[in-house]
Amino acid sequence: MNDEAFLRAIAAGARAFADSLAASLEQQTTETGLNVVPKPGSAESMRLLLERIADVNQAGRGATAAEVSRFAKEAGMDPRGTAGYYATAKLLVKKSDGRWLTDLGKARLKRLAENTAA
């Protein structure tokens, strides 16, 4: 990798970090009052994202890219940060009809929901 490519990669990473930090500071107003967006990368952030995708999957379809992007933002994440959910963690899979929770994703969501309830 040459110096210019390296600097561009660092700049892109810094922008993604800044966007993620800004999103974590934003607040949403809901019917129940003020709802603070969870910290990106937190268990609550992951639970919200996986839960929203599971809701779509339970309706018998995969979540669209636009939906996953919206769900990520609502969970306080930069949508680009969901890439690890596919490749690294294997919590999601992209099929021809959208994004689906894998068995690992369902198990992780169950553990996160149990920890939230406790």
Per-residue model confidence as pLDDT tens digits over 40-91: 778 888 999 999 999 999 999 999 999 999 999 988 888 887 888 888 889 9
Q: Tell me the CATH number at 108.
A: 1.10.10
Number of domains in the chain: 1
Distance between CA 58 and CA 113 in Å, rounded?
A: 17
**Residue type at position 74:** E
If phi > 0 it is left, if psi is from -120 to 50 it is alpha, else beta; for residue 10 that is: alpha
The pLDDT of residue 94 is above 50: yes
Residue 59 backbone dihedrals phi, psi, to 5 degrees = -80, 0
Q: Which secondary-structure segment (H or E) carries 80? A: none
Range of the domain at 77: 3-117
Label the pairing between strands 92-95 and 98-101: antiparallel
Answer for the pair 73, 23: CB distance below 8 angstroms, yes or no. yes
